[in-house]
Amino acid sequence: MRPFERNEYMTRVAKTKASMAEKGVDVLIVTDPANMNYLSGYDGWSFYVHQCLVLAQDHDEPFWIGRAQDANGAYVTAFLDHGNVIGYPDHYVQSTERHPMDFVADFLKKRGWDKGVVGSEQDNYYYTAACQAALEKGLPNVTFKDTTGLVNWVRVVKSEREIGYMQDAARIMEKVMHLAIDRIEPGMKQSALAAEIFRAEVVGTEGYGGGYPGILPPLMPTGDSSNAPHLTWTDKEFVAGEGTIYELGTTRHQYHCPMARTVYLGKAPTVVSDTAKVVVEGLNAALDFAKPGVTAEEIEEAWRGVISKHGLEKESRIGYSIGVSYPPDWGEHTISLRPKDKTVMQPGMTMHCIPSLWVKDWAIEISEAFRITETGSETFCDFPRQLFEKD
């Protein structure tokens, strides 16, 4: 039922505890849904109410604390002993009188964890200012430490099985991107294409279906709106003589394979197709360069070397680490392929390299998700790396 064995989860927990010890953290409160999944297997759309894992140096498994009605979901999806799954009563939900983190503070007190250093993910989605305020109020003898990113960094090197799920997601992505390029045509409503893409992401392959990506709606800026990267679809029609950028994601057990491609309805002007060639050349250079031992910023430099040869320039981040994730994002918030990021590449790291260049007021975007192998790098998808022109 669960995507990983108990011992894989326990290895992750042990690595996290080692990182906690190094940072002097006694108890860690984990609220990022991807981190909760990584350390326990928990997988549900319940992050719209407050929930967390609690890791302590003196307790082997994490505790799952969430809304009582979601405890059943934790029994089904998490590897945890049922005694480590704690539900809070419904009167804590969206109440103006009490906060779910009051319950968590009381729980920590009962366990004798109301002293020492407690880490919380203070710049994370869903860990609101009110969460931190409730914990500080309920645990006056605790020293709080911001541990945003602690578990995320434990996640950067993937196991073989994690990579296997990303490869599964890649098989779905190849089908999704083919469909997106096949179906688009002048006169088609954007919302109708979004519908087909949604379907394909979840239908998956013959052997297995897909989950939902962290950036859930298909992003496909087109024509006038193509310089507004995060607008979603409208009822407007696709128009001949305009370009569309697809930034799509597929998942298997919430492990992601994103991909971007650019498609032009009609024969693209020379400046567009020439720019696309530069993007591909730069992307190839970055992928060729990526291998164990080089740094994140050096991969970006390989790209920049190519485009500056063509007299071009662009903003500096061309990629980021990926893996397990939940909305609203699929990035891991760890490694960035940009200047000053000196992270050394290791086998099992997985990245999305998504460079783009601007032509007047719209962009060409062509990306690859890839992993660092023992000797170099390998893309997850096998898909033509080019600008698509549809006559």
Partner 1 sequence: MAVFERAEYLDRVARVKTRMARDGLDLLVVTDPANMNYLAGYDGWSFYVHQCLIVTQDHAEPLWIGRAQDASGARITTWLSADAVIGYPDRYVQSTECHPMDFVADLLTDRGWDKGRIGTEQDAYYFNAACQAALEAGLPNARFADATLLANWERAVKSDAEVAHLRIAGKIMERVMDAALDATAPGARQSAVAAAALRAMPRGTPEHGGEYPGLLPPLLPTGESSGAPHLTWTDRAYQRDEMAVFELGATRHHYHSPMVRSAWLGGNPPERVADLAKIVAEGLESALDAARSDVAAEDVSDAWRRVTARHGLEKKSRLGYSVGLGYPPDWGEHTISLRAGDRTELRPNMAFHAIASLRRDEVTCKMSEAFLITETGAETLARVPRELFTRH
Choices 179-187, 193-201, 267-275, 278-286 (CB under 8 A): range interacting with partner 1: 193-201
- Asked if 37 touches partner 1 (CB under 8 A), the answer is no
How many Cα atoms sit within 13 Å of 346 on the Cβ side? 10
Query: DSSP per residue over 249-272, as a string?
Result: EEEETTEEEEEEEEEEESSPPHHH
Q: Which is nearer to partner 1, 122 or 343 (CB)?
A: 122
Residue selected from 9, 20, 35, 43 as contacting partner 1 according to rule CB under 8 A: 43
Tokens at 29, concatenated: 């409160």
Residue 324 Cα distances to 3, 52, 251, angstroms:
12, 17, 9
**Least distance to partner 1 from the beta carbon of 224, Å?**
8
Choices 66-74, 265-273, 299-307, 347-355 (CB under 8 A): range interacting with partner 1: 66-74
- Asked if 160 touches partner 1 (CB under 8 A), the answer is no
Residue selected from 251, 262, 275, 336 as contacting partner 1 according to rule CB under 8 A: 336
**Least distance to partner 1 from the beta carbon of 254, Å?**
10
Residue selected from 219, 285, 337, 345 as contacting partner 1 according to rule CB under 8 A: 219
The residues in 272-311 that bind partner 1, with binding defined as CB under 8 A, are: none
Q: Which is nearer to partner 1, 20 or 219 (CB)?
A: 219
- Asked if 199 touches partner 1 (CB under 8 A), the answer is yes
Residue selected from 41, 62, 138, 211 as contacting partner 1 according to rule CB under 8 A: 211
Residue closest to 152 by CA, chosen among 319, 292, 289, 335: 335
Tokens at 203, concatenated: 């239908």
- Compute how many other C-beta atoms are within 10 angstroms of the C-beta atom of residue 224: 12
Query: DSSP per residue over 214-255, as a string?
Result: SS-SPB--BGGGGG-TT----SPBP-TT-EEEEEEEEEETTE
The residues in 250-279 that bind partner 1, with binding defined as CB under 8 A, are: none
What is the distance between the alpha carbons of residues 255 and 213, in angstroms, rounded to a whole number?
Answer: 8
Let me know: does 338 contact 269? Beta carbons within 8 Å: no
Site string for partner 1, 357-386 (x = CB under 8 A): ------------------------------
The residues in 83-142 that bind partner 1, with binding defined as CB under 8 A, are: 90, 94, 99, 120, 122-133
